[in-house]
Structure 1
């Protein structure tokens, strides 16, 4: 006769995919119930730690764990590539943008230098601390990128989560009533642009996943090339530059490269890579639209909106092409 505790364990185990339950459910239930007296099982429940452990196992088993069916292997590969590409683009932006601002502020005379320093000296302790954190914490993207490619997964997770924290500050201030968000859609999409890759990195690069690797090049050279693309896009058209501009331009270059590579060597392309980039492109497209929409009818914003709309069109086109290429890759495999 099934006890209430056994039924509760089986309910929690339904978080696991069907293939995993078929192989391991009975063994897991026996393990959970082994040291418990049958007379007390109707008054017991799975502990919070056990539920959390099963939930984490459910994520791992759906993201390419050993012995997983093909669709889960592809899902895991796509999630890892999505996280790696996003972390790379965000790392380059987190390095280049502060360097360019420092260079501008300290080479344009005392007025620009004082204006820069005012962000850290003319406010209270809390705002000064937040300003410093917003400069330092995003460098965690670079830590996450390097650590991930050298298979230091715990450090990579920590770096990504720390780097994503500053995107929550505007939301926290609005909830406490300290400020009013004038562009809530843009703030929200920026938070998603940081937190979705960070969470994907934590979930997909689990202990059973294969080591992260780049399709080509070494980690240092790829990061340097991405920084060059980011810096060039910010310097050549500064009027259109915002927080999405650099990562989106890096995506455009990567998407073109991926499409050309898959057209010539489809068999050697990483499984799920095109769809992973398409998902990242969709996320960047949402952030780009949210950024440019409030400025469409603002007088004098033509240089900004012109560049942003051109980038929006390119993002939409390449995202669609990547989605089509990704479907063809999956069908071919």
Structure 2
């Protein structure tokens, strides 16, 4: 007769994918019930630690664990590439933003330096601490990127989570009585752009996952190329540049380059790459639209709005193409979807 505790364990184990349960459910249930007295099983329940462990196993088994069906292998590869590409773009944007702001301040003499330093000295202690964190912590995206490609997964996870912290301030600042400028929709979308990749990195690069690899190029060369593209997009059209401009420009150029490179190859060298880029493109598109929307009817913002609309159209087009290619890859991995 099935006890209440066994039923509860089986209910929690339903978090696992079906292929994993078919192979190991009975063994796992026996292990959990091994040292529990049968007379007390109707008054017991799985511990929080056991539930957390099963939930973590459910994530690993769905993201390309050894022996997983092809669709889960593809999903795991896509999530890992999504995290890698997003970390790369934000690393380049963070470095370029810092370099351009410091360069502008130095090139404008004493007035520029005073304006730069006033961010830390004229707004109170809390704002000074937040401003310093917004300057320093995003640089950890670069640490996360290189740590990930050198298979230092703990360092990569910690760096990505710390780098994403400043994106919480526009959402949490009003709770602390601070005046935060960004529109709520933009603050939410920009926060997701940081936190979804950070969480994807933590989930997808589990202990059974393969090491991170770029589809092409060395880590340093790819990073420098992204920095050049990101910086050039701001320098060429500074009137259109906002927090979404540089990441979106880098994504469009990088995604087009990936599509052209992929079209020249007959083998599927990057399974899940199109799905990863499509998901990232959709996320960046949401940030682009959220940044642009409040300015659509503002007088005198025609150049900014025009540049934003052109970039939005390019993002949407590239994302649709990537989604079509990703759908083809998904159908190849799981023919039943066709």
TM exceeding 0.5 = yes
TM-fit CA distance, 1:331: 3.4
1:111-260 correspondence runs (5 A): 111-179=111-179, 183-260=183-260
Measure, in 1, the Cα distance between the counterparts of 2:200 and 2:42. Answer: 38
TM-fit CA distance, 1:287: 0.6
Which whole-Å deviations, capped at 9, do the CAs of 1:157-210 have from their partners, x for residues lacking one? 111111111011111122344336661111110001001111111111111111
TM-score by length of 1: 0.97
Name the residue aligned to 1:329: 329
Report if the CA contact (8 A) 2:147-2:153 is conserved.
yes
TM-score by length of 2: 0.96
Name the residue aligned to 1:305: 305
Measure, in 1, the Cα distance between the counterparts of 2:297 and 2:125. Answer: 38
Which whole-Å deviations, capped at 9, do the CAs of 1:113-170 have from their partners, x for residues lacking one? 1111100001221111111011111111111100100001111111111111101111
Name the residue aligned to 1:91: 91
Name the residue aligned to 1:32: 32
Which whole-Å deviations, capped at 9, do the CAs of 1:79-118 have from their partners, x for residues lacking one? 0111100000000011110111001101211111111110
TM-fit CA distance, 1:329: 3.0
Indicate the larger mover: 173-182 or 222-231.
173-182
TM-fit CA distance, 1:332: 4.3
Name the residue aligned to 1:50: 50
Measure, in 2, the Cα distance between the counterparts of 1:295 and 1:202. Answer: 36
Equivalences, count: 333
CA RMSD of aligned residues (A): 1.2
1:12-23 correspondence runs (5 A): 12-23=12-23
Report if the CA contact (8 A) 1:12-1:54 is conserved.
yes
Report if the CA contact (8 A) 2:71-2:330 is conserved.
no
> Any stretches of 5+ residues in structure 2 without a counterpart?
334-338
Q: Is the partner of 2:41 in helix, strand or coil?
A: helix
Q: Is the partner of 1:21 in helix, strand or coil?
A: helix
Q: Is the partner of 1:258 in helix, strand or coil?
A: helix
Measure, in 2, the Cα distance between the counterparts of 1:256 and 1:107. Answer: 34
